Amino acid sequence: MRALYGRLRALAVAFGLLLAMAAANAQSFDEALTGFTADSFSDTENAIGAVARSGNARAAQVIAALQDGRLFFDPDGKKVYIKDKDDRLTDAATGEAAGAAPADLRPVRLNNRLRRAVEAALGGLSLFAEDAGRRFDAAQAVFRSRDQAALPALESALAKETDPGVKTALAEARAAVVLNMSGASEADKLAAIPVIRARGDQDSVALLAGLPADTPAAVTKAANDAIASIQSSLAVWSALQNAWYGLSLGSVLLLAAIGLAITFGVMGVINMAHGEMVMLGAYTTFVVQEVIRAYNPGLFGYSVVIAVPLAFAVSGIVGVLVEQGIIRFLYGRPLETLLATWGLSLILQQAVRTAFGPTNRDVGSPSWMSGAFDVGQLTITYNRLWIICFSVAVFVGLLGLLRFTRFGLEMRAVTQNRPMAASMGIRTGRIDALAFGLGSGIAGIAGVALSQIDNVSPNLGQGYIIDSFMVVVFGGVGNLWGTLVGAFALGIANKFLEPYAGAVLGKIAILVLIILFIQKRPRGLFALRGRAVEA
Amino acid sequence: MTGSPLIRALDRVGVTFLVLLAIIAVAVPLGNLLVPPSSPLHVSLYFVSLFGKYVCYAILALAIDLIWGYCGILSLGHGAFFALGGYAMGMYLMRQIGTRGVYANPILPDFMVFLNWKELPFYWHGFQYFGYAALMVVLVPGLLAFVFGWFAFRSRVTGVYLSIITQALTFALMLGFFRNNFGFGGNNGLTDFKDILGFNVQSAETRSALFAISVAMLGLGFYICRAIVSSKLGKVLIAIRDAENRVRFLGYRVESYKLFVFTLSACMAGIAGALYVPQVGIINPSEFAPGNSIEAVIWVAVGGRGTLIGAVLGAILVNYAKTTFTSGPLAPYWLFVLGGLFIAVTLLLPRGIVGTVEHWWKGIGPKTRGNGVAPAGVADPHPAE
């Protein structure tokens, strides 16, 4: 009986304490709120801290409102109000609707220092949020702010956390705070360093490099070791990132150059207007999007998909017309075809400039192509990922066309030995026209892809024509694989040289390398062989 | 054929042309300096500079015709050699400004002071002497052409591949010269020249003198090209143009011939650029643009390749048309005209103007003139390519 009585008493005391704490909290919350009514930055700063520490359920709402600029105060009545999105006022302390707005309602002002305090406070409060994502963000915010006042909240959050990802983030945040706290013990700090090292990104390096001056020597040494190891792993990630950019550039070059390789292989002519076919494809995308925006905005997500066959058709038809109108008469004179197609490119550029204006046109990305995701320290954007997949798909499609269709067979025959193909009954004139149309059509599709990552202007083609030439020269025209290898090799080489030499010198270096490469293989990597090939 | 090529070059057509040039070299400066402005025969200073510019372009066209019309090397990057020669002259002119620049630094040009450079880069040393600058005008393009050609011709890169590589060369140079820390003025180029060899660059006398020198250089270049193509070397060049493999199998070192003529052509282009810069007053990296080089080729194509006179004529005609179009209300249509010119000339007029005229003349010739031997130095511009 006495034991029960003793427990009941303990319960009553605890309950009483809780009530007292609640009352005190409520009291301290109210007191904290009045700090906002003084219209002074230092008072507001104290109030923010007090509100956050008060543990009141409404604390998070108040501070969130303050961050959004929705916290107002009445200097006469000493009351604080929250204004929601519909401009309705609620009393900050009680949460009830405030009725009529007081005459002299002023917003609670913030400066940059206060904003940081607000972020830290919100971070601390969000540590206990319902949503795991919000808890994770809160942990990251504390990691960046290293606010010592958040330490007790961190500890209690760590104890209660179940989600492993959030738990790691909380541990890192705690380690960050400990490392920057003068009061923490050396053992604690030494224990914190491996946690930061495991995180392993640029922020960690900054944190470890910026430890306070009173850090013990052992801790500083451990920190420096950790920095070295993080940087070497970051170097690996950086190389991977460059490889990714190189792949992306290579896929763009592949799309742009493969049409050129086909026409050069089949007909032996370099089409200097190839860049303009790419540009026409990009402008087709623009027009399709404009039409969709005007008549059926709901289809915007499909605009790129619709633009692909249209761009193929537009550029392909222009290509066939060019072949029939100009190239056909210059048969056997490749250098003059070069000049004539250059003239054509000037005409096409000026025509587009006259029709659409010389400035960049806006081509938007559908939602499924926007955004990015992270793999380790690598950032992968969706639009480039889609373009890589698209290029590979186009390449595979072309391989199939060449390998499995009658048209592909005839094209290959004409490429390898034109007179013999003609003797076998293949209409070389027709193949020429269709091959040129196909090459230009692919260029048009490349334009659709390029419109997503580059500016759409009449000069779009000029930016890619030299690179396309380099791919064709390097990869050779015997084989589509040559273009693939050439495009990706040039793309990756370009991107790897860039961090060391800069974009311009990188390009120059690539050019010099190609000239030297041509010493060994003058016809490119995958060259056509045989007596039919003119030396 | 008798006599050395130097004499053979002075056939009827050659002599007529040189005499015409001499007349122009004297008449135009006189028309500017001595004839009063009110007279209809007066040549304004604007026209003196304009024609001087055309003459420099004509020298460039000659250089291109030498390698394209007679040797079959279509270089789409000759603007690079032109611009390099221009930059060498520009560097000399910049050093001559001295303390008269905006920042009044006796050694450093304005743009270097602007970029906070403390001393002259090593490659600018020596450009205060005209002799050194003149040497560089010829040496730098020549050396680049030699190295590039050695690599390219040795590995038998021909035809379209070579054209593309020359394009890439000039493109790479353009990218390089646009950089501000390359030390050549960046995207502003070199400008604001004050005087050349002590004479004020802007004055009428200097302009006339530059014009006369340009015309003289054109005549000299024409003579040299004529001499080359009338000689045995020229015969081999034409053979290389028409059937390269066969020439190789006959025992000639094709690479050496090509290298020689390519380097010579680059030096000529460099000289053209050097004469161009003081008359125009500025040199900037857009001279390296691939489009400029391709335009130069079309001058030769319009005039008639394989006939040196055609190159000169084509350069002057096309540039005159360009000036007319771009300085008037027809400016937006210039690119249509230029593009159309490319297409029309290659489709309809493959021999160019002079080439077509010569073709008719030769067609009429054998019936009225007897032995139908073609005049020395003029190749049949109907290549096997």
Confidence check: pLDDT of A535 > 50: no
| Mean pLDDT within B344-364 | 88
Which of chain B's residues have a Cβ under 8 Å away from the Cβ of A350?
332, 335-336, 339
Q: What is the tally of helices (H) and strands (E) in chain A?
A: 19, 6
The percentage of chain A sitting over the pLDDT mark of 70, rounded to a whole number, equals 92
Least confident of A10-14, A43-47, A132-136, A318-322: A10-14
Confidence of residue B336 (pLDDT cuts 50, 70, 90): very high
| DSSP state letter for B379 | -
Of B297, B339, B385, the CB nearest to A333: B385
Distance CA B292, CA B256 (A): 28
User: What pLDDT shows up at residue A79?
Assistant: 79
Residue A342 sits at the chain B interface (C-beta within 8 Å): yes
Query: Tokens in use for B305?
Result: 């390749």
Residue A412 sits at the chain B interface (C-beta within 8 Å): no
Distance CA B252, CA B260 (A): 13
Q: What are the tens digits of pLDDT across the range B2-50?
A: 677 788 778 888 899 999 999 999 888 888 888 888 877 788 888 899 9
Q: Give the length of chain A.
A: 535
Query: Tokens in use for B157?
Result: 């890169």
Q: Give the length of chain B.
A: 385
Residue A345 sits at the chain B interface (C-beta within 8 Å): yes
The percentage of chain B sitting over the pLDDT mark of 90, rounded to a whole number, equals 50
Best of B154, B346, B385 to substitute, by most chain A Cβ atoms within 10 angstroms, is B346
Of B151, B159, B160, the CB nearest to A515: B151
Q: How many CB atoms lie within 10 A of CB B213?
A: 16
Strand pairing class (A79-83; A89-91):
antiparallel
A positions 30-69 inside 8 Å of B (CB): none
User: What pLDDT shows up at residue A123?
Assistant: 65
What is the residue-wise DSSP string for A227-265?
HHHHHHHHHHHHHHHHHHHHHHHHHHHHHHHHHHHHHHH
User: What pLDDT shows up at residue A523?
Assistant: 76
User: What pLDDT shows up at residue A534?
Assistant: 53
Confidence check: pLDDT of B371 > 60: no
- Which chain B residue lies closest to A269 (C-alpha atoms)? B160
Q: B343, A344: Cβ pair inside 8 Å?
A: yes
Confidence of residue B372 (pLDDT cuts 50, 70, 90): very low
Best of B68, B342, B345 to substitute, by most chain A Cβ atoms within 10 angstroms, is B342
3-state secondary structure B313-352: HHHHHHHHHHHHHHCCCCHHHHHHHHHHHHHHHHHHCCCH
Confidence of residue B377 (pLDDT cuts 50, 70, 90): very low
Least confident of A2-6, A139-143, A222-226, B305-309: A2-6
Q: B176, A504: Cβ pair inside 8 Å?
A: yes
Q: A515, B156: Cβ pair inside 8 Å?
A: no
Which of chain B's residues have a Cβ under 8 Å away from the Cβ of A264?
160
Least confident of A474-483, B2-11, B79-88: B2-11
Which of chain B's residues have a Cβ under 8 Å away from the Cβ of A535?
156, 244-245
Predicted complex: ipTM over 0.90: no
Q: What is the tally of helices (H) and strands (E) in chain B?
A: 15, 4
Q: B297, A505: Cβ pair inside 8 Å?
A: no
Q: A466, B290: Cβ pair inside 8 Å?
A: yes
Confidence check: pLDDT of B376 > 50: no
User: What pLDDT shows up at residue B142?
Assistant: 96
CA A320, distance to chain mean position in Å, is 38
Q: Which residues are bridge partners to B190 per DSSP?
A: B283
Residue (of A326, A361, A324) closest to A460 by Cα position = A361
**Cα angle B90, B92, B93; round to 5:** 65
**How many contacts does A have with B, using Cβ atoms within 8 A?**
126
How much is the mean pLDDT over chain B?
A: 88
CA B32, distance to chain mean position in Å, is 25
| Mean pLDDT within A129-136 | 76
Which of chain A's residues have a Cβ under 8 Å away from the Cβ of B244?
535
Confidence of residue B138 (pLDDT cuts 50, 70, 90): very high
Question: Which amino acid is present at A477?
Answer: V
Residues of B with CB under 8 A from a CB of A: 74, 76, 148, 151-152, 154-157, 159-161, 163-165, 167-169, 171-172, 175-176, 178-179, 244-245, 290, 294, 297-298, 301, 332, 335-336, 338-343, 345-347, 350, 385
Residue (of B260, B273, B214, B264) closest to B80 by Cα position = B273
CB B31 within 8 A of CB B39: no
Write the CA distances from A454 to A38, A114, A252, B318, integer angstroms: 52, 40, 11, 35
The percentage of chain A sitting over the pLDDT mark of 90, rounded to a whole number, equals 22
CB B100 within 8 A of CB B194: yes
Least confident of A480-484, B158-162, B173-177: B158-162
Query: Tokens in use for A451?
Result: 């419109």
Residue (of A180, A107, A110, A104) closest to A143 by Cα position = A180
What is the residue-wise DSSP string for A57-116?
TTHHHHHHHHHHT-EEEETTTTEEEEE-TTS-EEETTT--B--SPPSS-EEPP--HHHHH
Q: Which helix (H) or strand (E) holds A465?
A: helix A460-475
User: What pLDDT shows up at residue B96?
Assistant: 86
| Mean pLDDT within A67-79 | 80
User: What pLDDT shows up at residue A13?
Assistant: 59
**Cα dihedral value B199, B200, B205, B209, nearest 10:** 60
Write the CA distances from B378 to A139, A263, A283, B108, integer angstroms: 84, 35, 48, 50
User: What pLDDT shows up at residue B184?
Assistant: 87
User: What pLDDT shows up at residue B250?
Assistant: 95
* Nearest chain A Cα distance for residue B84, angstroms: 17
| Mean pLDDT within A253-257 | 90
